[in-house]
Structure 1
Amino acid sequence: MLRNPAGERNKEAILEVLKKYIIVNTNTTLLEISSGTGLHSSFLAKYFPMTTFQPSEYEKEMFKSIVEYKRHYGVENVFEPVYVDISKDLENWDAKFNGDYLRDCRESFDYMLNINMMHISPFECSIGLFSNSSKLLKKDGILFTYGPYAVDGVLTPESNISFDQSLKSRNPSWGIRDIAELKKIAIKFSIMLIASYDLPANNKLLVWKRN
């Protein structure tokens, strides 16, 4: 099980926001894109026992850690991780959910979750996230995204500016995204930003809804 210090710090804050939106007494489904170590799905699954969590990850070497977090938290409502390249269109995915190919699971998910991916991936991944969410989410389904964001061209505080510069020095296609730019992309896929929450460590949790 891989350590995730940032995840340990933010998991409670993320949980408190998700409690405002995830229905606890109804069977629902949640697809996590870019699950990383697997901490969040298994931690959150404890609090939403009627929600089925489907972790996914681009880096297959993370699968073992995702499974180990499931075992660590002792949750049964987390499925085995699947491989997803979110930059690709849903039609090109070979991953399965509950026995069916995800490409055949249009309008099947009540929620989608994406934590700390946008700034450490090419912008095509952010576009793919909205594009594929518009196909996978049910009508009025919710997409949660978490991470650092600029607001209308302004990035604060200084630590986030330094972080953004560091990211771009490592890979020019990386960098902290501007919410205004993301909204323009999302609306093309009938997804709208309905809420923004300021969370600790200069991050935000954005709540998007499929119209």
Structure 2
Amino acid sequence: MTMFEKPFSQACENNKQPILDVIRPLFQGSKSILEIGSGTGQHAVFFAEAMPHLQWQCADQAEYLAGIQQWLDDASLANISAPQTFEVNSSAWPSGNFDGVFSANTLHIMSWASVQVLFQRLGENMPEDSLLAIYGPFNYQGKFTSDSNAQFDQWLKSRDPQSGIRDFEAVCEQAETAGYSLLNDHAMPANNRLLCWHKKTRR
């Protein structure tokens, strides 16, 4: 990759505004957001520019950090921190004091075992009263919500049998175990959803 070749995702360009419309009011009282699986960095730049009250922290596997940094360098926004390496099953939890987490198109890429580890780590590392927003396709009662999602799931499994579109109910069970209560399940374009949780305060 040369300095002029930033990674680019058309899906990010397509979904960034609909996602922002949901997370802007969700994160209006937040101060620092951890983005797990920042990918190209496009979401981070768009959201940080639109929500200047937030400090945005990118995190992803090491191979993606250089591309993310290119987007951050070009944007020159004071409220985005340098990306941190994060491997769900091995890396230390990203450093910082976060009161919210955002992740897009990650759960269906990871194995189900890794999804379980992710929620366990959210439960262990995120403070009470924090927020969680996860974007992507989900099944309901074990059924696909569209033919295109069923085809996408087949494609995912052809690349990695451990991946696949996750069941809403199973994901919510993991979140509940980690201390989160569901706030909203937003329908999004292209047969996606945006699930929002609040980490409950222990009494």
TM-score normalised to structure 1 length:
0.87
Match of 1:49 among 24, 27, 52: 52
Q: Which residue of 1 aligns with 2:72?
A: 70
Matched residue of 1:143: which SS?
strand
Q: Which residue of 2 aligns with 1:139?
A: 128
Matched residue of 2:35: which SS?
strand
Match of 1:169 among 139, 155, 158: 158
Quote the Cα distance in structure 2 between the aligned partners of 1:53 and 1:86: 19
Question: What amino acid is the match of 1:18?
Answer: I
Match of 1:129 among 118, 121, 124: 118
Q: Which residue of 1 aligns with 2:141?
A: 152
Counterpart mapping for 1:4-19 below 5 A:
4-19=9-24
TM-score normalised to structure 2 length:
0.90
Matched residue of 1:9: which SS?
helix
* Aligned residues of 1:196 and 1:204 also touching (Cα < 8 A): yes
* Aligned residues of 1:33 and 1:86 also touching (Cα < 8 A): no
Offset at residue 164 of structure 1 (A): 0.5
Matched residue of 1:20: which SS?
helix
Going from structure 1 to structure 2, the CA distance change for 1:94 and 1:110 (only over 3 Å counts) comes to: closer
Matched residue of 1:135: which SS?
helix
Quote the Cα distance in structure 2 between the aligned partners of 1:139 and 1:17: 21
The structure 1 segments of at least 4 consecutive aligned residues displaced by more than 6 Å after TM superposition are none
Offset at residue 175 of structure 1 (A): 0.3
Question: What amino acid is the match of 1:150?
Answer: N
Quote the Cα distance in structure 2 between the aligned partners of 1:115 and 1:190: 21
Q: Which residue of 1 aligns with 2:26?
A: 21
Going from structure 1 to structure 2, the CA distance change for 1:95 and 1:137 (only over 3 Å counts) comes to: closer
Aligned residues: 195
Question: What amino acid is the match of 1:20?
Answer: P
Unaligned runs of 5+ in 1: 98-107
Offset at residue 87 of structure 1 (A): 2.8
Question: What amino acid is the match of 2:77?
Answer: V
Unaligned runs of 5+ in 2: 1-5
Quote the Cα distance in structure 2 between the aligned partners of 1:6 and 1:94: 27
Going from structure 1 to structure 2, the CA distance change for 1:94 and 1:119 (only over 3 Å counts) comes to: closer
Matched residue of 2:132: which SS?
strand
Going from structure 1 to structure 2, the CA distance change for 1:77 and 1:195 (only over 3 Å counts) comes to: same
Quote the Cα distance in structure 2 between the aligned partners of 1:61 and 1:124: 22
* Aligned residues of 1:30 and 1:54 also touching (Cα < 8 A): yes
Q: Cα RMSD between the aligned structures?
A: 1.6
Question: What amino acid is the match of 2:182?
Answer: L
- What CA deviation, in whole Å up to 9, does each residue of 1:82-121 have, x standing for no partner? 1111234xxx517533xxxxxxxxxx32110111011111
Offset at residue 199 of structure 1 (A): 0.7
* Aligned residues of 1:82 and 1:95 also touching (Cα < 8 A): yes
Question: What amino acid is the match of 2:112?
Answer: F
Q: Which residue of 2 aligns with 1:178?
A: 167
